[in-house]
Structure 1
């Protein structure tokens, strides 16, 4: 089975334990490991695959906790740097299971390209660009683009998720242009409805998917929450339904979806893109993994095992 390299942020989510409140009124917070690429990596290993996290945490107790959390999840941390202070996020959950969110950036943005041992990345490995913070500023932004160039030159599988955070992005048009650079070279692109419309400037989701495909993506998945996922290739489109669950916390659901997709792609011997029927099966599995992650609080702590997912077959 091929390895999946996930680059970006690994941070502390301080999750408010008070129910149905905003951060203004929350008072009881629990420390949890988070960060979109880390969530993806942990999803892959929880399902039985192989993943390496690439990024930086602080040389502090929070960084130690995060490293131990990934190691406990069997994620390879050999490309994790520990320096400066760990990035922190504060999250509360409203009555609909949606997040109120604020962010204190630290070490994650300091990850340099020269920290990466490129010899560890084999030609048939996958690289996932799914950071919510990488396109904010350099050094991490430069590292992101340099790794994309390396992946292109090495003809590697490229996965991209913009992980748009309105509270973090100050220049939306620049963010869109940066994302389109990755989409141009990506084999698999996962976007939310909001991201699809923003990046394509098309309100119709089928047209939006087609526009992203025409920009270069080989396959596009637009996640629709409880309504499933729109899967699109240049030849075909369909909506793949999800499963019904009692939603508690949506944190990490999209990352779990991506991790489940990459787990299946890394396990497959076929050249991507697979036939449409296989991709539909992959999406159905990923929908289940994403949905099951919403049944509990926290991202990595809520990830299902392969046994958990198979129970819903």
Structure 2
């Protein structure tokens, strides 16, 4: 029987301002768009909510702004049962905002303003030590300062807690040498090329680039390739996990659904490959609905989705 995992997210939260458009405007062009929605997002919060909706126990270490969005963000996290005692207010700063534009195909373009996320510090991580060291897994992204990510990786190694880093959005100054004790690195193809300095146009090149990072101390590399699926690379070799074919409505937040799902399934079962297959299904379900967190399946919704897939 699967266990209930204890997952900590040291990362970002955002307010999503989503515009659904018939096409992207050209520079200098003004278009009328069919619809607009506002919701809660941010890579850290999205991944936390995905894992929480699947039944994991979550704690969040994050910063919100001292504006109208801050209290709403905290209430939103609490609504999913996420422990927010270490989600604090950065006085005088705005909350993080993501401006998202979605085309009819489901493809999207996103601008982010980090806001209060830029104030999350190593001291905030240390203040949450009691909860973090009791976690099965600590999950991070790059919408917060790099020094905070490095500090979290180092402290987690001291505590013997497994770690996952999603190196997004891409940061050219990310120091791989500071990630030597990381359990899992989860980049996309572009991020892998940037971090390794190697080409990633084919599976052999992806494996070689990932192995170069593993040689520097990272435990395993999980490369997300969209419709081409996922590649799990360890020191023993590479395994392909196929994508799940569905009709996409909105791909916003699908990567976060995958990573949050993977974190849950990994802590629940301890089986990395099985967790990746389940996470691929969870991400596929998320693109069949609009939005980010609201498109993530609950346990019951995901079970029904898997039943339909298995009956195909």
Q: TM-score, normalised by structure 2?
A: 0.86
Distance 1:309 1:183, change over 3 A: farther
Alignment of 1:232-251 (within 5 A): 232-251=233-252
Secondary structure, counterpart of 1:251 in structure 2? coil
Secondary structure, counterpart of 1:79 in structure 2? strand
How far residue 86 of structure 1 moved from its aligned partner, in angstroms, is: 0.9
Partner of 2:202: none
Secondary structure, counterpart of 2:186 in structure 1? strand
Partner of 1:55: 62
Query: In the aligned structure 2, how far is the partner of 1:302 from the partner of 1:50?
Result: 20
How far residue 91 of structure 1 moved from its aligned partner, in angstroms, is: 0.9
Q: Does 1:82 align with 2:89?
A: yes
Query: In the aligned structure 1, how far is the partner of 2:283 from the partner of 2:178?
Result: 23
How many residue pairs match? The answer is 290
How far residue 110 of structure 1 moved from its aligned partner, in angstroms, is: 1.2
In the alignment, which of 292, 296, 305 is matched to residue 299 of structure 1? Answer: 292
Secondary structure, counterpart of 1:304 in structure 2? coil
In the alignment, which of 1, 8, 12 is matched to residue 5 of structure 1? Answer: 8
Partner of 1:209: 210
Partner of 2:138: 127
How far residue 62 of structure 1 moved from its aligned partner, in angstroms, is: 0.8
Alignment of 1:144-155 (within 5 A): 144-155=149-160
What's the CA shift string for 1:134-188, capped at 9, x where partnerless?
2xxxxx43333222221121121111110134xxx5xx2x23x2xx135422111
How far residue 123 of structure 1 moved from its aligned partner, in angstroms, is: 4.4
Runs of at least 5 residues in structure 2 that lack an aligned partner in the other structure:
200-204
How far residue 231 of structure 1 moved from its aligned partner, in angstroms, is: 1.2
Secondary structure, counterpart of 2:212 in structure 1? helix
Alignment of 1:1-313 (within 5 A): 1-22=4-25, 25=31, 27=33, 28-83=35-90, 84-115=93-124, 116-131=127-142, 133-134=143-144, 140-165=145-170, 172=172, 174-175=173-174, 177=175, 180-203=176-199, 204-268=205-269, 278-311=271-304, 312=306, 313=310
In the alignment, is the contact (CA less than 8 A) between 1:160 and 1:182 conserved in 2?
no
What's the CA shift string for 1:223-279, capped at 9, x where partnerless?
1112211112111312111211111222211111111111122223x5xxxxxxx42
Distance 1:228 1:13, change over 3 A: same
Secondary structure, counterpart of 1:215 in structure 2? coil
Query: In the aligned structure 1, how far is the partner of 2:38 from the partner of 2:135?
Result: 36
Distance 1:220 1:142, change over 3 A: closer
Runs of 4 or more off by more than 6 Å in structure 1? none
Query: In the aligned structure 1, how far is the partner of 2:17 from the partner of 2:259?
Result: 23
Secondary structure, counterpart of 1:32 in structure 2? strand
Query: In the aligned structure 2, how far is the partner of 1:52 from the partner of 1:19?
Result: 38
Query: In the aligned structure 2, how far is the partner of 1:22 from the partner of 1:306?
Result: 38
Distance 1:94 1:182, change over 3 A: farther
What's the CA shift string for 1:10-43, capped at 9, x where partnerless?
1111000334334953655321111101111101
Query: In the aligned structure 2, how far is the partner of 1:31 from the partner of 1:206?
Result: 39
Distance 1:60 1:5, change over 3 A: same
Query: In the aligned structure 1, how far is the partner of 2:96 from the partner of 2:135?
Result: 32
How far residue 300 of structure 1 moved from its aligned partner, in angstroms, is: 0.8
